[in-house]
Structures are given as structure tokens and as C-alpha cells.
Structure 1
Amino acid sequence: MVFRAPDPGVSHVTENAAPASVFRDTAFLRLWTGTTASGLAMWALPFVLGLGVLERSITAVELGVVLSTRTIGFLAAVPVAGVLADRHPRRAVVFWSCLTAGIATPLIAVGMGRSLLLMAVAATVVGAGQGACRPAFQALVAEVVPEQNRQQANAATTLAVRVTTLVAPSLTALASLVADARTLLAVTAVAWLCAALVPPRGTGGPIATKTRAGLVREFADGISEARRHPWMLAGLAALTAVIATGYSATAVLLPVVSRDRYGTEAVLAAATTAHTLGALAGAVLIARWRPRSAGWAALTGLACYGLIPVGLLLPVHPVVLVAAYAVAGIGIELFNVPWFTAIQREVEPSKLARVSSLDFLLSYGLAPIGLALIAPAVGLAGASTVLVVCAAVCLAAPAAAALVPSSRRFSTR
């Protein structure tokens, strides 16, 4: 298949003819399979450990410790992995990070009921493997997929992630009927091995430099690269603000509102399911849609997350609240896919993994801080005040980012 190089000056033009399906490309299909396998292993682990609590293999306190140490490993590995994935072939970083997670996962099973220290150390290593593969996978897309097909490729990847989050709990529950938690941990280890072995080789190589700077200096070079793109700094600030407020309000206050206002947990289940289904719909839509002002359209989608705290604040019918979650799910993917595609297009290839690691570190790495602060804030100021602030931030942050001139098309070209 021959691809025509796009004209940088018209990268924003909407075309009626959609590119050929990326799933006809064997290399991308392998990359997509590996990414999906890693996502399945990542999302399944909390549910498998939850089954361990039900089986009394571990306690609730031990579950909290294991999940916390996994998060610590993830956050610690992301910036280091960004540097390594720019120093070395991205395929090699994917292999070793996923292999590490796959080897460490059974050690959690060995420690269940025997050693909390072993479980915590193994979970830290698993989290490090998860964090290390994220920027490498992101950079590998730019090596495997031609530029005009990357939006569709990113949509296909995020579609797989959303399907995984939707079916992982159900699959885990069904598997628990025939296997215990230790066996299911072994299954997730197999998924990690699949993620390590299946992806293809990329076209890039290590950075061609005579000398190596330290890890901190090279990561700082990635930050400098991000600073060259004003739209990126503005969009990253908006994304971080929305996740730290809107996502936190959802995680902490939705169960309370579902119980106290509606008197049923069905609203909680319906809202979270609607959000995932909305995200699936958004991924399908953005796989084909090429808005002329892609950045503004993406930031508008991000601002839709403000509907969630508004719905939690007002005494609306439960159907309205569920609809707000669905719209927010659509909006977040209308942002995510163009955002990833723009980073892969605009960032210097030799620094792409570092910029991607900065993206993950700030946007999702700071989410636990928002979660930790939201409950004390509710205790001090009340739920209504917190929801008003969250709604204002979710709406104002993308609007402020849209004022940056290069944000219109997520491009400085």
C-alpha cells in the first residue's frame, strides 16, 4: 500500500474520503493486540485482587496496600520510561516492560496469605512495567502507522481500552466461577507476555548522539520540547484540571448522590456504564470525523465533562444524570484521540516518548491527588460548593486553553 505524504499546510482540512482501515495493516494489528493485552492485564488486576478479598486470601487493608504500591511504581517508571524509549528502540522498551510485569504478577499470587511485603514489592514492579510501556506504546504508533491513518489508529486503540474497562469486571466475575484469584493472576501474567511478544518492530532507533546526558537532563529536554508547542501546554493544563476535579467528583460523590438522592445503587451502575458506552461511541465517531478546527472541537469535548458535576449538583431526574455521563464519555474521546494524534504529528520523533510520558505523568498521575483532596474539601466546604467549583473548572479550563492561537488545530505549523 502506498501512502501520499500529507501537506503540512493543510493538515486540518476535512476530507470526505476516509482512509483505509488500519486493521488491514498487519503491523498495526499486532501493535493493537499487544496494547489491548496490556490494558486487559492492567484493568483486571484490581478485580482479581478484589476476588482475593472475597475468598479471604487477602484482607481489605492488604488490597489497599498492593494497589497503592502499584500506583507508586507506575508514577515512578513513567518519566524514566519516556527517556529510555527515546534512547532505545521503542519495541525493546515495550518487550522488557511488559515482560517485567508478566514475571512479577505471579509473585503477587505467591505472597497472598503469606507475605504482604512480597505482594507490595511485586505490585510495585508490576506498576513500573505498566508505566514503562505506556509512552513506548504511544511512540510506537507513530513509527508503525502513517500520519494520515493515525487518528483512526488511536481511535481503535482507545476503543479497545474502553471495551476492556467495560468487560474486564464481567470477565473476571465469570472466570472466578471456575478459578481462584491465584489462577486468575497467572492468566493476567499470560496477557502481559502477549503484550511483550506480539507488537511489531518500529522504524525508529535510539537517539543519535555522541554523548548521553543524565536521565533528569534528557527528561528536561522532553519538557523543553513540550514548551515549544503552546497548544500542548494549554491542553495539558486543561486536561489535568478536568481530571483532577471532574474525575474526582465522579469517583467520590457519585456513590453518595446515588444513595442519598435516588435511594438506589442502580443510578451509580447506570451512570458509570453510560460513561463507558459514551466513550465507545465517541471513539467510533472520531475515527471517521475530521473537524477543520480539530483542537477547538477536542477542547469542546473535554469541557463536556463539566456536565457531570452539574448533574450531581442539581436535583435532576436520574435519566438526565445518566445522559450527562454519556455525553461526557463521548466528549472525552473527542478530546483524547485528536490529542494523541497531534502529539504524534507535531513532536520531534526523537523526543516523542518523553513528551508522552509527561502527558501521562501530569494528566493521570496527578489524579490520585485530586481524589485524596476531594473528600476533605467536601467536609470543609460542603458537597454543593465543591461541585460548583469542579463544574467551573471543567468548563473554564478548556475555554482558557482554546484562547491559545495554536490550540485551534493543535498545531504550530
Structure 2
Amino acid sequence: MGATGTAERRALLADRAFLRLWAGTTASGLATWAMPFVLGLAVVDGSLGATALGVALAARTVGFLVVLPVAGVLADRHAPRVVVLLASGVAAAGSFALAAALGRSVVATTAAALLVGAGQGACRPAFQALVPATVAEPDRQAANAAITVAVRASVLLGPAVAGLGAAVAGAAWLVTATGVLWVVAAVAPARTARVGAVGGAAGRRPGFRAEFVEGLREARRHPWFLGGLGALATVIMTGYSVTAVALPLVSADVTGSGVLLAAGATSYTTGALLGGLLLARWRPPSTGWVALGGLGIYAVAPLALALDPRLPVVVAAYVVVGFGIELFNVPWFTALQREVAPERLSRVSSLDFLVSYGLAPLGLALVAPAVDLVGMRAVLLGCAVACVLGPALAALVPGSRHLAATTPTGRAAARG
């Protein structure tokens, strides 16, 4: 198994098309992560107000979510590389406009952030479709692991680099740098063979609504996908959202500063990096159950915050949680690329991202009322239970053990 993983990595490193895709995906992932962090630095240096920051981040989220259903259809209808080029170009233009608007106009800042979010959302399903178009099926898990390792490593180093850049050049120049990353994301992926086309010839294509509904039907053909998506939604709505609110509050109570918050975020990324490195070479025998188990590990984070929020405990908890997230992410994306018909993959992926990112703001909005009603500790413990139950129930769904159709005939039908 180790020799196989090493051979796969060597083959990928020699594959110029994959290296270009890897570079583009890494650039887009780093730019996506960097925007809220860099805008936070803009608040620190006084070039952006706190209210403007909240409005800009909300606008980015709206742009991201609104465009996802359209992006999924477009990436299936046209070459995914073309959609990546256009979407990344939109995000780059929005980033450059955002850099120019900082400290000058809240309206212009909001409009630019909306544009950035639309570009970010449009490129995600297209990048997903480019992986199976570029990498052969036996190498895809290693490819997905290599991509996530690069993004996680960049995020781990990003705060230090961004902080230094903000001190030297200012936040506006850092926003401009994210625009440059989007330019790299736009031009890096190589041309690939067309894997499918929606609706046949251009003159006989169904309408957008029909194409979107066809994507929904494709998703319904895969019970393991619906079960896993339900588990993911549960963890995001409960564990992810509550710890996003609780960790800063606990950090202030325990340390009187943001030390615990920074340590938790760094530990999470470190754990995710370790998980990605492991999955570059390890093939679990029951991939789906291992993935769902990794997702359920998120329960450790609210448990630690509720029961023993000391610095070493929280650091260890978030390393484990980050590790578990990649145990889920890498096999999940690999299964989608293997099991979903190529000409419908972008639409199914857009549903995945729509649920993943769309429920996060809703969960965050519900946390404060829940804490006021029953208290922080009770909310944290309840969320820990939900993080375990969601993946456990998903593991009972047919096909969940291997994230695949239960029989070869069923798999053929799902692809048809």
C-alpha cells in the first residue's frame, strides 16, 4: 500500500496537466481563505470599519451562494476549464476593485466583495470537474490529497506572511495580491478532453431549470451522497457553527486574550494537513465509514470547550478535529468524481457546496439565541451529540460503507 502510494505521487508529480491543475486549485483556495483574513487586517490598520467588514463578508457569502446553482449547470454545459477561467477572472476583477475601494466607499466595497464571492462560488464545481478530466481514477485520491495538503500548508503559513505584508505594504496591497492569485487560478489549468455535454447539441439544450433538476435527480440516485450530505449539514449547523462562536468567547474567558483562538485555528489546520498527508498514500478498507467517522470526530471540539477548555486540551482537540475533517473530505471528493456521471458532476458538486456553505450562516445565526436560552455549556454538549449522531445515521444508508453503489448493476444505473 505504501509503495502504491509512492508510485502514485511520483506519477502525479510527473504529470504536467495535474501540476497545472494543482497550482490553479491551490491559488484559488488560498485566495478564498485570504480574503476575510486580509479584510480583518484592514480593520486593524483602520482602512476598513467594523460595520463595513461585516457587510462586505455578508456580500461575499451572498455572491458565493447565489451563483452556485448557475455555475454547476454552466460547468456541465461547457468545458469546466472555460468556467474556471471566467469565474476566476471575475474574482480577480472583484479583488482589484475591492483593493481600490477600501477606505473610500462602503457601497463600492460591498459591490466588489459580492463580485469576489460570485467568482469564488462559480469556480468551485468547475475545479471539481477538472480533477477526473485530468487524473485517472486510481490516482484521484492522491490528487485530491495533494491539493488539500497544498491549500492547508498555505493557510498554515498565510497569517504570518499576511501579517508581515500588512505591516510593510498595507491591507490594500494584500487584497491586490489575492487578485493576482485569482489570475493564476484562471490561467493555470490545462486544456482537457471534453467529458460530456448537457442536453446534446446547442440547439436542443433543455432550459436552465430542466438542467438543474437533472442534477438533483442525479444526486438522488446516490443514497450515500444524500446521507453524507445530511451528516455534513448536521456537523456544519451544530459543531462548526457553535465552535466558531464559542472558541473566541472561551478564549477571552480562559486566557483574557485571543491566544486560545489562534492556537485552535492553527491546530485545526495542522491536523488537516496531517490528514491530507496520510490519505495521499492510505486507502481505508471501508472508505465511507472511515470518512463518516472522521466527520463525527468534530464532536471533540465542542466537548473540549465544554468540559476542559485549557490550552493544551483545546490544541489537542483541534488537531484531532482537523485530522478528522480531511479523513472525510478527501474520500468524499474522490467518491463524487468516481461515482457521479461526468456530465453531471459539476451540478452535484454545486449542491454539495451550496449545502456546506449555505447552512453555515444559518447555524451561526442560531447559536446566540440558543446560548441565551439554555447556556453555553448545554449548547456545546448538545452540538457534540449531534456531531456524532449525524454521521452515525449516515453510515446506515445503503452504499455508505464505500461511498459507492452497493452493487455493480446499481453503480451502472447511477452512472446512466
Question: Which residue does the alignment assign to 1:367?
Answer: 360
Q: Give the letter for the 1:20 counterpart.
A: E
Q: For residues 36-68 of structure 1, what are the alpha-carbon distances to aligned partners after superposition, in whole Å with 9 as ceiling and x for unaligned?
A: 111222222223222322332221111111111
Partner residue of 2:287 out of 258, 281, 294? 294
Distance 1:213 1:222 in 2: 13
In structure 2, distance between residues paired with 1:384 and 1:325: 18
Instruction: Provide the rounded CA distance (Å) in 1 between the counterparts of 2:74 and 2:391.
Output: 32
Match of 2:200 among 206, 209, 234: 209
Alignment of 1:165 with 2:155, yes or no, is yes
Query: Residue 66 of structure 2 corresponds to which residue in structure 1?
Result: 76
Is contact 2:65-2:357 (8 Å) kept? no
Question: After the TM superposition, which residues 189-268 of structure 1 pair with which residues of structure 2 at under 5 Å, given as runs?
Answer: 189-204=179-194, 205-210=196-201, 211-263=204-256, 265-268=258-261
Q: Matched residues in 1 for 2:105 and 2:260: separation? A: 39
User: Which is worse superposed, 163-172 or 291-300?
Assistant: 163-172
Whole-angstrom CA distance in 1 between matches of 2:207 and 2:385: 41
Q: Which residue of 1 aligns with 2:408?
A: none
- Asked whether the equivalents of residues 2 and 281 of structure 2 are also in contact (C-alpha less than 8 Å), the reply is no
Fraction of identical pairs, as percent: 55
Q: For residues 372 and 104 of structure 1, do their structure 2 counterparts lie closer, same or farther at Cα, with a shift above 3 Å needed?
A: same
Output the amino acid matched with 1:224: R
**RMSD over aligned Cα, in angstroms?**
1.6
CA contact (8 A) 1:43 1:164 kept: no
Q: SS of the residue aligned with 2:4?
A: coil
Partner amino acid, structure 2, of 1:72: V
Aligned to 2:48: 58
Question: What residue ranges of structure 1 are gaps of 5+ in the alignment?
Answer: 1-13
Deviates more, 1:114-123 or 1:235-244: 114-123
CA contact (8 A) 1:15 1:290 kept: no
Mean CA deviation greater in 105-114 or 395-404: 105-114
Say whether 1:20 aligns with 2:8: yes
Query: Shift in Å at residue 214 of structure 1?
Result: 2.4
- Separation in 2, partners of 1:365, 1:46: 17
User: Out of 339, 346, 350, which is 1:353 matched to?
Assistant: 346
Contact 1:58 1:113 in 2 (8 A): yes
Correspondence for 1:326 among 319, 322, 346 = 319
Distance 1:316 1:105, change over 3 A: closer
SS in 2 for 1:281: helix
> Offset of 1:241 from its aligned partner?
0.6
Q: Would the alpha carbon gap of residues 15 and 282 (structure 1) be closer, same or farther in structure 2, given more than 3 Å must change? A: closer
TM-score, L = length of structure 1: 0.93
Q: Does the aligned pair in 1 maintain the 2:296–2:391 contact within 8 Å?
A: yes
Q: What amino acid does structure 2 have at the position aligned with 1:326?
A: V
Mapped contact 1:245–1:394 kept (Cα < 8 A): yes
The answer (yes or no) to whether the contact 1:105–1:126 under 8 Å persists in 2 is yes
Query: Match of 1:173, as an amino acid?
Result: G
Which moved further from structure 2: 328-337 or 167-176?
Answer: 167-176
- Give every structure 1 segment of 4 or more consecutive aligned residues whose post-TM-superposition deviation is greater than 6 Å: none
Q: CA offsets per residue over residues 151-189 of structure 1, 9 Å max, x none?
A: 000011111221222222221111123212222222221
Structure 1 residue matching 2:198: 3-state secondary structure = coil
More displaced 10-residue stretch of structure 1: 40-49 or 323-332? 40-49
Q: How many Å separate the matches in 2 of 1:270 and 1:186?
A: 28
Task: Provide the rounded CA distance (Å) in 1 between the counterparts of 2:308 and 2:80.
Answer: 50
Equivalent of 1:178, from 160, 168, 180?
A: 168
Query: How far off its partner does 1:406 sit?
Result: 0.7
- Preserved contact between residue 58 and residue 112 of structure 1 (Cα < 8 Å): yes
Total equivalences in the alignment:
400
Opposite residue 29 of structure 2, the aligned amino acid is: G
Alignment pair present for 1:109 and 2:99: yes
